[in-house]
Structure 1
Amino acid sequence: MSTISQIAIVEQHGLTRRGLESLLASSPLLRMVSTTAEPAQLQSRCEPGERLDVIVYGAPAASARSLTETVGALAACGRVLIIADFAGWQLVTDALRAGAFGCVSRQADEDELMRAVETVAQGGLHVAPGLATRLHTELRHPASTARPALARREMEALRLLASGLTHSQIGRRMNLTEATVSTYIKRIRNKLNVGNKADLTRKAIELGLLESTERTGPLSGGGVLGFSPAA
């Protein structure tokens, strides 16, 4: 007989929160016990000795320290599944070390999210396909210093440049002049302390700005890094 998993949602955006609640409530194997906008609201409701099977946490764009501290606090209430952009400073390894059982990109589809929830509910570890290669890179090249503070538009320009686009093509994609794109790239070079496109591409990979499919094609077997608990 299947076990009903106790689940909670922490998501600050109302529309997204209601969408998550509607999706997860559609499963007969999940029972929604709490839906809140802020982590502190869920923490105040945690009963001593009781742990939720899954806490779906929609992480906002904040500092890396803030993310790990929040995940660590929520982990006291149950198994945390993070939904985040994981752009630039947001490290998958940091999230897992802080106590998360799963990481999913905000670009994930409904099926991917449900697979992640199911794995975490069973006590397993789930890292989404688009983040698996990034996790491998982070494990091979652990960050020893703080991540460079690239602005969102600078990260987008770097991603497009590393994907092979010219300054002119980037300008059309981002609705910028070619001169503005050149200024962005110059600023990025200075911040990252690199001198050529090859080094910029390597930095883009290290920062997780390139999905695995952009570099090497789809990961074999769907690319999900999922570890289920031993039977």
Structure 2
Amino acid sequence: MSDAIRIAIVDDHPLTRRGVESILREQPDFEVVGSCDDPGVLPAPARFDVLVLDLYLGTDEPSLDVVGQWAEQVKVLVVSASGRAADVVACIRRGASGYLTKSAGTAMFASAVRTVATGGFALSPQLADILSGELARERRMRGGRPPAAALPASTDRPELSPREEEVLGHIANGYTHAQIATRMKLGKSTVDTYVERIRHKLQAGNKAELTRLAIERETAERTPPTDPRATR
């Protein structure tokens, strides 16, 4: 059908790949256009909308380069046996539009594909809760440094107030609303209000999507500019 969501699948486990393909083909608004164990033989990006990608493809290392390469061209939904927060954060930073564990049910899987295809962000519910632990660990490894200064405003980026930027930075560093309230010497209800404003401005539909946006912004803010002298 012309308005179907076109999907390609990459998984190096034949039985898992066939199971994923079977689930997707049962959905009337899905069209599977490719299914393989090697991303190198996928159809051209113009032929599909969503790539359902296994994170570990025959090695002990996550295929983050594959995530990054394809995320520049199509929506990438990572479906992995790994529920490690470090893997989730790494995939988000490489541009993945969603991350599900392979324990996700059929309905959640189908819903995640639709969410990703329409520009949203999908995440297994239990992963949204453990991301804060990983971000807090990274913060400790950086010596507990505060969030970086806000990026300069741009015409294609929603402008947040300084307070909203501060709240979003704390979210990216893994703090709960109550912890943010303590650090900023505000009431929790005030922090809740800031978070709702941020979600509205950034068009973040849920906690998972707000976490993704916070991680992406925090990553960009703490990436130092290239020093021209370094290439001399």
TM over 0.5: yes
CA RMSD of aligned residues (A): 2.8
Structure 2 matches for 1:86-165, cutoff 5 A? 86-88=82-84, 90-142=86-138
Instruction: For residue 14 of structure 1, report the CA deviation from its aligned partner.
Output: 0.9
d(CA) in 1 for partners of 2:118, 2:207: 15
TM superposition outliers: structure 1 runs of 4+ over 6 Å: none
Contact persistence 1:53–1:120 (CA under 8 A): no
d(CA) in 1 for partners of 2:105, 2:207: 16
Q: How many pairs were matched up?
A: 145
d(CA) in 1 for partners of 2:207, 2:108: 12
SS at match of 2:104: coil
TM-score relative to the length of structure 2: 0.55
Instruction: For residue 31 of structure 1, report the CA deviation from its aligned partner.
Output: 1.2
Contact persistence 1:39–1:74 (CA under 8 A): no
Structure 2 matches for 1:181-200, cutoff 5 A? none
| Alignment partner, residue 44 of structure 2 | 46
| Alignment partner, residue 32 of structure 2 | 32
Which structure carries more strand by proportion?
Answer: 1
Instruction: For residue 80 of structure 1, report the CA deviation from its aligned partner.
Output: 0.6
Q: 1:225 to 1:11 in 2, by over 3 A?
A: farther
SS at match of 1:141: helix
Contact persistence 1:124–1:226 (CA under 8 A): no
d(CA) in 1 for partners of 2:94, 2:47: 17
2:70 pairs with 1:74? yes
Unaligned runs of at least 5 residues, structure 2: 142-173, 175-205, 211-232
Unaligned runs of at least 5 residues, structure 1: 146-205, 207-223
Contact persistence 1:9–1:36 (CA under 8 A): yes
Contact persistence 1:51–1:77 (CA under 8 A): no
d(CA) in 1 for partners of 2:11, 2:139: 28
**Identity percentage over the alignment?**
32
d(CA) in 1 for partners of 2:53, 2:139: 24
Contact persistence 1:55–1:78 (CA under 8 A): yes
| Alignment partner, residue 11 of structure 2 | 11
TM-score relative to the length of structure 1: 0.55
2:90 pairs with 1:57? no
Instruction: For residue 102 of structure 1, report the CA deviation from its aligned partner.
Output: 0.3
d(CA) in 1 for partners of 2:207, 2:47: 25
d(CA) in 2 for partners of 1:225, 1:28: 29
